[in-house]
């Protein structure tokens, strides 16, 4: 059995069972999801983090590539009460350190009490506590990853659904989940995927009916070019955003964002719609939130547990954003109509563009 050490911010070191060899460092966070581990592990929003699963057994239904949100695992390491051999084989193929036989109830309680924290992990035949502590010492705070977008974004523009007849969407890839693109394609949109730092003129060249800011990892203030894109387009083009995208839109339109204590990560987050009074269950994965929306935006949905903003709409602009993941992978499916709403908003812009000018 391999040795495994998990060094927590503050110097406390936990000992577990090593399942996949290697060293890693990152922000230690937890998810309460009891299914969807394939989707979670391939979610780019977990970049530079170490993911702890609160559910005790992870890997019990195997590993299926059709469930992946991206082409690789994004957390730097993974922690659970118990991993199955199937998922350990996946970790080994991708070089992701994994530790189990820890009391993850204690780990989750530590994160809830003290917040997401820096962490170092060492797994191997001859590793020591000092190896994990060395990783911890080199760990940076999430806000210090100033160019994290480069690690998760496409390098060059891509086009999906070129033969579709629906709206033209410019998706700014700050770490987009594949199911967001799929949800738009299913509704007949043509999706132009741009790097997180795309130039305004490059996006203008496709004449989008909708500017869509994706989810992604890290601090929204470090996505300065995406903020500039919202500023450049919002007066004339509808804007939508998911997760990090909501935060970026708020930053662009005079709002402010802040880091949460331990964030929202799981598939059972209740969200209240302030107009209808309806509560829906949502999938979430974020460590930052909108603190104040600013004068151009209004909060339309809130988290039932802590009142943080979950939905924001424009007051004088065509803007719809959501903090949760309405694409519903791994679920639930309560909020899939978000994509219908934003494409209807985009269709209004497309119809206006199609009206010929008076002679």
CATH code at 297?
Answer: 3.40.50.880
243 an active-site residue?
yes
160 an active-site residue?
no
- pLDDT-derived band at 330 (thresholds 50, 70, 90) equals confident
In a domain, 359, yes or no: no
Predicted local confidence at residue 352, as pLDDT: 53
Predicted local confidence at residue 333, as pLDDT: 79
**Do 302 and 319 belong together in one domain?**
yes
The answer to whether 317 is annotated as binding is: no
**Do 232 and 344 belong together in one domain?**
yes
In a domain, 90, yes or no: yes
In a domain, 214, yes or no: yes
Q: How many helices (H) and strands (E) does the chain have?
A: 10, 19
For the chain, what is the mean pLDDT?
A: 95
Contact yes or no for 280/334 (Cβ under 8 A): yes
Contact yes or no for 330/267 (Cβ under 8 A): yes
In a domain, 262, yes or no: yes
CA neighbor of 210 nearest in space, from 184, 228, 177, 186 = 184
Q: How far apart are alpha carbons 68 and 77 in whole angstroms? A: 17
In a domain, 86, yes or no: yes
Burial grade of 77 (CB within 10 A; 0-12, 13-18, 19 or more): buried
Query: How confident is the model over 162-186, as a mean pLDDT?
Result: 97
CATH code at 98?
Answer: 3.50.30.20
- pLDDT-derived band at 349 (thresholds 50, 70, 90) equals low
| Segment holding 269, helix H or strand E | strand 256-273
Contact yes or no for 141/115 (Cβ under 8 A): no
The answer to whether 216 is annotated as binding is: yes
**Do 220 and 318 belong together in one domain?**
yes
Model confidence pLDDT, tens digit, residues 134-154: 999 999 999 999 999 999 999
Model confidence pLDDT, tens digit, residues 255-264: 999 999 999 9
**Do 244 and 201 belong together in one domain?**
yes
Query: How confident is the model over 280-298, as a mean pLDDT?
Result: 97
- Please check the confidence at residue 358 and state whether its pLDDT lies above 60: no
In a domain, 59, yes or no: yes
Q: How far apart are alpha carbons 174 and 139 in whole angstroms? A: 22
**Do 9 and 101 belong together in one domain?**
yes
Predicted local confidence at residue 354, as pLDDT: 46
Q: How far is CA 206 from the centre of its chain?
A: 26
What is the count of structural domains for the chain? 2
**Do 169 and 20 belong together in one domain?**
no
**Do 136 and 153 belong together in one domain?**
no
Question: Catalytic: which of 192, 264, 286, 325?
Answer: 325
- Please check the confidence at residue 351 and state whether its pLDDT lies above 80: no
Q: How far apart are alpha carbons 280 and 155 in whole angstroms? A: 36
The answer to whether 166 is annotated as binding is: no
Contact yes or no for 248/241 (Cβ under 8 A): yes
In a domain, 227, yes or no: yes
The answer to whether 36 is annotated as binding is: no
Tokens of 309: 């903003």
Q: Which residue has the tokens 């104040």?
A: 292
Model confidence pLDDT, tens digit, residues 45-60: 999 999 999 999 999 9
The answer to whether 244 is annotated as binding is: yes
**Do 210 and 342 belong together in one domain?**
yes
Q: 3-state SS string over 170-232? A: EEEECCCCHHHHHHHHCCCCEEEEEECCCCHHHHHCCCCCEEEECCCCCCHHHCHHHHHHHHH
Contact yes or no for 243/325 (Cβ under 8 A): yes
Q: Determine the structural domain holding residue 103 and report its residue range.
A: 2-140
201 an active-site residue?
no
- Domain end call among 140, 173, 203: 140
In a domain, 261, yes or no: yes
Q: Is 16 helix (H, G, I), strand (E, B) or coil?
A: strand
**Do 134 and 168 belong together in one domain?**
no
The answer to whether 287 is annotated as binding is: yes
**Do 85 and 202 belong together in one domain?**
no
Question: Catalytic: which of 119, 174, 243, 296?
Answer: 243
């Amino acid at each position: 059995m391999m040795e495994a050490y998990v060094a927590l911010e503050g110097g406390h070191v936990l000992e577990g069972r090593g399942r996949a060899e290697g060293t890693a460092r990152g922000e230690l966070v937890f998810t309460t999801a009891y299914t969807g581990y394939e989707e979670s592990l391939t979610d780019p929003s977990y970049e530079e983090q170490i993911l702890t699963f609160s559910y005790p057994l992870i890997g019990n239904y195997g590993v299926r590539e059709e469930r992946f949100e991206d082409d690789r695992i994004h957390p730097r390491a993974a922690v659970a009460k118990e991993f199955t051999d199937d998922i350990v084989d996946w970790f080994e193929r991708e070089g992701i350190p994994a530790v189990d036989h820890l009391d993850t109830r204690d780990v989750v309680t530590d994160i809830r009490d003290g917040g997401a924290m820096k962490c170092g992990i060492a797994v191997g035949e001859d590793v020591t506590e000092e190896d994990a502590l060395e990783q911890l010492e080199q760990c940076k705070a999430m806000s210090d990853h100033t160019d994290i977008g480069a690690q998760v974004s496409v390098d060059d523009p891509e086009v999906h659904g070129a033969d579709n007849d629906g709206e033209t969407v410019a998706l700014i890839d700050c770490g987009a989940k594949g199911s967001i693109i799929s949800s738009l394609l299913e509704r007949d949109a043509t999706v132009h995927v741009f790097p997180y730092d795309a130039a305004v003129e490059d996006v203008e060249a496709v004449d989008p009916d909708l500017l869509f800011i994706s989810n992604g990892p890290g601090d929204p203030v470090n996505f300065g070019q995406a903020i500039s894109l919202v500023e450049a387009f919002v007066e004339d083009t509808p804007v939508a955003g998911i997760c990090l995208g909501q935060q970026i839109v708020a930053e662009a339109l005079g709002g402010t964002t802040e880091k949460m204590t331990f964030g929202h990560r799981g598939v059972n987050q209740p969200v209240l719609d302030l107009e209808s009074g309806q509560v829906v269950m949502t999938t979430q994965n974020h460590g930052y939130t909108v603190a104040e929306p600013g004068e151009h935006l209004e909060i339309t949905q809130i988290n039932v547990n802590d009142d943080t903003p979950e939905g924001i709409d424009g007051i004088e602009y065509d803007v719809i954003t959501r903090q949760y993941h309405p694409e519903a992978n791994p679920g639930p499916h309560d909020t899939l109509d978000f994509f219908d709403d934003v494409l209807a908003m985009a269709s209004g812009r497309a119809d206006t563009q199609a009206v010929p000018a008076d002679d």
